[in-house]
Structure 1
Amino acid sequence: MQTVTLAEGTGTSSTLPTETVALLARLIGFDTTSDRSNLAAIGFITDYLDNQGVPYRLSYDESGEKANIHAVIGRPGPGGLALSGHIDTVPVDGQRWTSDPFTLREADGRLYGRGTADMKGFVASCLAAIPDIKAAELARPVHLFISYDEEISCNGARRLIEDMADSGWKPDLCLVGEPSLLSPITGHKGRLAMRVTVRGRAGHSATPARGVNAVQAAARAIAWVAAEERRFSVAGPFVPGFDPPHSTCQVGRMGGGTGINIIPDLAWFEMEWRTVPGDDFFAEVERFRTFVATEIEPAMTDVDTETGFDFAVLNWIPGLSLPEDHALADKVRQVTGRNSAGRVSYGTEAGLFQDAGIPSIVCGPGNINQAHQGDEWIAVSELAACDRFIRQMVERVCR
């Protein structure tokens, strides 16, 4: 069993004799913020897999600067259980950290560092379990998915799914280890993000009829979004277990205009929908476009036919909905000791794997409330519990 030396001056023992923590310390040391290459971290993981004699495939983004790993323990091929995690993280800029976010620090039973909870802790547990999984008598393979860009688009998972079609290494089931305090999550909302650009016509503010005010046109569209948010809360549909139990939409960023005495010829805003099962975010986009086309654009084009709205979908991920009585949900409940499963409003890659024909569930160590924060942390006890959880799931599904 290896040991790892952590940051000094933490107030507790500076060494932890666990392979999982040693691997986590190495993973935290790589700055894998989503806007940067992850190849150094991927190289460390593939070296580890090579030393363990585990076969794997790499798939890359268009730039070649980011890669996924699809490893298989046991005979490479279809079937079995996938353990899925991403290693990209959100930025640390502008956050308050009391220590280097890329150096693992332990204090009072907590491990601090960017990605400890979301979700390098789970990935470290998976890697640490490989020797035990190899030693088990597997009837079905154990797959390991490690992906890029989950925090911004989930395109890494999409690329991994494409590569799976080429390799034929498609698992029967998938466990996504997003932080849930090791509580099974069988459903999450779908999400679509969109950028709306408004093209107006510039002019002097003293003669507003000669121009087309892009900011005011955008404001009318944003008011519709606010009304939709209220409609969802009143009309539903309502799905118990989600918080809130209905779909939502909001505008998160906006801009436009150059001066108070100039009719603005450009405005923009970015918005999102988060939809419960039964709502379709693509249908919601079309409702929005219809409103704009019938209620806002005609008055704009009467002045200048070159004015109007442009809509660009930034990214989307489907919702997750695993039946409560599915065998995978039963096994996770049995292993975790939970009597029920939950639903969450944030999105994960599990919905993409489900759409690819792989029944999926979310269950991983750490608390989602610690993710994306300064001084992000995961409890050492959560990692220890995850170590046991992974081995027991492999035992129940693959032996």
Structure 2
Amino acid sequence: MSPTNSPFPITALAGQSRKPDQHALEILRELIAFDTVSRHSNLQMIDFIQDYLYQRNINARITYDDEHRKANLFATVGQGKRPGIILSGHTDVVPVDGQAWSSDPFVLSERDGRFYGRGACDMKAFIAIALAKVDAILESDSQTPFHLAFSYDEEVGCLGVHRLLADLAQRQLHVLGCIVGEPTNMQMKTGHKGKRAFRCQVTGRSAHSSTPHVAVNAIEYGSELLAFLRAQSRELEQGPHDARFDVPYTTMTTTMFNAGIATNTIPAASEFVFEYRYLPVQDPAPIDRRIRDFIDTVLLPEMREKAEESAIQLQPCIDYPPLETPTGAEIRKIVAAHAAPGEQSKVGFGTEAGIFGKHGIDSVVCGPGDINHAHRPDEFVTAEQLVLCEDFIDSLISDMAARKS
């Protein structure tokens, strides 16, 4: 499509001489139109990408979830024999429920040099640009191939990428490293925190509120555990620090709570969700043990004095590792030479890069957009960030093609 016929009459930004590539914008428009909220299937988007690659004689490997409702895609672009570079992104997005959008979240729209749509920032822009650069990779005739790795269910705990990596392990594919294109304003990030989240279910004994002596109040015992977690959070603030994070210590917080059926009924059940995000240098196992010890030695004995059926169950719901890219990693050196300038730092939000790292694939995070513009109503990525990402991948392609040995 020519610029004159483009549905995106891009407003020029002050100081920016170039506009985003129209081909990349057309792909981004297609990707935004797929409603890949995590509770829905992503297969239409995967089919679109698979067909796009097939038209270029590139076969993609697909790994499905148990229900075949969702899938990962992995494809190798180029015939080079050297270890390749993975360009990684997730296809799912967070919901738009209850958010006040100024335009349809599943229709890419442009206003004043900003491109709006659910996933525009997190992280369909990176995927769109990677796909738009496939032809350039093929034309470069590089000895270093590029691999495209697009996963499902990242937003609900980095679930899908495990199957993709298990498939790669069986194939014994050798790679130089991985670039996860989460929004970092195109600056390289070499670390992020790990995360563990738990759903806690407290079971007590119900009674009329006028007879609390015969009840085991699930709200009150749940609250005692929450108070303990708050005390643990304060201790963690005094623990190991890493100044390269915006929040330089391990955090712990409660995010959901549900209990009670009536004002005159002591509840027999309560449920809440809590999480902690821990530094790469910190072992999460002792944190888990302190919580479980408090439940087993303090709360449960007292609860079961009145009601033997009392219970407190912790169900893990999210668990992904931290990222700490080795200083001497080749992918770190390569990306540092092409990423946007800025102080090398780490991010507090989680990515799939830590999981790649746990599988022996050195990884960094570098992608277009600002994480503060993601997940919110009117999510957007700027034209400037799109151009920076295009230049970044172009320079990577040129760099790899120039390496003859």
- TM-score bin (small chain): over 0.9
For the 8 Å contact 1:182–1:366, the answer to whether it is kept is yes
Aligned-residue offset at 1:5: 3.8
Q: 2:62 aligns with which of 35, 58, 61?
A: 58
Structure 2, gaps ≥5 residues long: 13-18
For the 8 Å contact 1:248–1:274, the answer to whether it is kept is yes
- CA–CA distance in 1 between the matches of 2:251 and 2:121? 26
2:244 aligned counterpart, secondary structure: coil
Aligned-residue offset at 1:262: 1.7
1:191 aligned counterpart, secondary structure: strand
Answer with 28-37 or 260-269: which moved more.
260-269
Q: 1:396 aligns with which of 375, 399, 403?
A: 399
Aligned-residue offset at 1:17: 5.8
Relative distance call for 1:297 and 1:143 in structure 2 (3 A) is same
Q: Tell me, yes or no, if structure 1 residue 116 matches structure 2 residue 116.
A: no
**Residue 273 of structure 2 corresponds to which residue in structure 1?**
270
Q: 2:220 aligns with which of 216, 223, 244?
A: 216
Q: Tell me, yes or no, if structure 1 residue 67 matches structure 2 residue 67.
A: no
**Residue 29 of structure 1 corresponds to which residue in structure 2?**
33
Relative distance call for 1:150 and 1:106 in structure 2 (3 A) is same
Q: 1:166 aligns with which of 161, 167, 170?
A: 170
- CA–CA distance in 1 between the matches of 2:213 and 2:204? 12
Answer with 70-79 or 324-333: which moved more.
70-79
2:202 aligned counterpart, secondary structure: strand
For the 8 Å contact 1:194–1:271, the answer to whether it is kept is yes
TM-score, normalised on structure 2? 0.93
**Residue 254 of structure 1 corresponds to which residue in structure 2?**
257
Q: Tell me, yes or no, if structure 1 residue 6 matches structure 2 residue 23.
A: no
The CA deviation string for residues 137-194 of structure 1, in whole angstroms up to 9 with x for no partner, is 2212211001111111211111111111233334230000000000000000000111
- CA–CA distance in 1 between the matches of 2:379 and 2:141? 37
Aligned-residue offset at 1:69: 0.5
**Residue 197 of structure 1 corresponds to which residue in structure 2?**
201
Aligned-residue offset at 1:77: 8.0
**Residue 87 of structure 1 corresponds to which residue in structure 2?**
91
- CA–CA distance in 2 between the matches of 1:175 and 1:16? 21
- CA–CA distance in 1 between the matches of 2:309 and 2:82? 53
Aligned-residue offset at 1:340: 3.9
For the 8 Å contact 1:257–1:263, the answer to whether it is kept is yes
1:46 aligned counterpart, secondary structure: helix
Aligned length: 396
Instruction: State the Cα RMSD in Å.
Output: 2.1
TM-score, normalised on structure 1? 0.94
The CA deviation string for residues 217-272 of structure 1, in whole angstroms up to 9 with x for no partner, is 00000001111111111x21111211210000011001112122222110111000
Q: Tell me, yes or no, if structure 1 residue 307 matches structure 2 residue 310.
A: yes
- CA–CA distance in 2 between the matches of 1:297 and 1:378? 50
**Residue 290 of structure 1 corresponds to which residue in structure 2?**
293
- CA–CA distance in 1 between the matches of 2:400 and 2:352? 21
For the 8 Å contact 1:2–1:22, the answer to whether it is kept is no
Structure 1, gaps ≥5 residues long: none
- CA–CA distance in 2 between the matches of 1:178 and 1:170? 23
For the 8 Å contact 1:254–1:270, the answer to whether it is kept is yes
Supply the AA of the counterpart residue of 1:6.
P
For the 8 Å contact 1:77–1:169, the answer to whether it is kept is no
2:248 aligned counterpart, secondary structure: coil
Supply the AA of the counterpart residue of 2:62.
L
